[in-house]
């Protein structure tokens, strides 16, 4: 079982929060003592979004209804609010025994998730997308150069 983490400032939670974590927070911190609970649904560079059914707020690039929630509450990493991680996401709860018996495909997903290349919904993160583009560019660089040369030759004819 995962031990409950202490209440911390939002900025202290950066790097500790993961998509799928269940948290208790007062959001941006401007309404002291007004805490609510929800699931971390999306994490971006400057923000993260807590999905829940109580407080309507900012929505990121993924709508909370994809996981059955009504609302999303966007919280900036520099917000003066507080947060407590009540339970870690499912990927972090797996015991070592379960990890050993998981299929190789799920082991690969676990590595991609831990590296921050995919999120809790097994979708590419911004970092994952950048890595894919870099790999594709390396793999198809010669073909891309040919396309560029053809386009330039076509432009010169005009």
* Overall fold of domain 8-87: SH3 type barrels. (2.30.30)
CA 128 to CA 88: how far, in whole Å?
22
| Alpha-carbon dihedral sign for residues 86, 87, 88, 89 | negative
Q: Where in the chain is the domain with CATH 2.30.30?
A: 8-87
CA 68 to CA 128: how far, in whole Å?
25
pLDDT per residue, tens digit, the chain (158 aa), is 444 457 889 989 888 888 888 998 888 766 656 888 899 999 988 899 999 988 888 888 888 888 888 999 899 998 888 888 887 665 555 555 555 555 666 667 778 888 888 877 778 889 989 999 999 999 999 999 999 999 999 999 87
Neighbours of 33 (CB within 10 A): 6
Q: Flag whether the pTM goes above 0.75.
A: no
| Alpha-carbon dihedral sign for residues 63, 69, 72, 78 | negative
């Amino acid at each position: 079982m995962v031990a409950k983490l202490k209440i911390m400032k939002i900025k202290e939670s950066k790097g500790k929060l993961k998509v799928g974590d269940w948290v208790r927070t007062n959001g941006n911190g401007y309404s002291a003592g007004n805490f609510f609970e929800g699931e971390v649904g999306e994490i971006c560079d400057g923000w993260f979004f807590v999905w829940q059914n109580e407080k309507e707020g900012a929505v990121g690039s993924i709508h909370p209804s994809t996981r059955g929630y009504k609302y999303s509450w966007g919280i900036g990493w520099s917000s003066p609010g507080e947060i407590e991680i009540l339970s870690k996401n499912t990927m972090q709860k797996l015991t070592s025994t379960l990890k050993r018996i998981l299929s190789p495909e799920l082991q690969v997903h676990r590595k991609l998730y831990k590296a921050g290349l995919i999120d809790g919904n097994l979708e590419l993160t911004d970092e994952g997308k950048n890595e894919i583009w870099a790999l594709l560019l390396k793999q198809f660089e010669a073909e891309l150069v040919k396309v560029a040369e053809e386009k330039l030759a076509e432009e010169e004819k005009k």
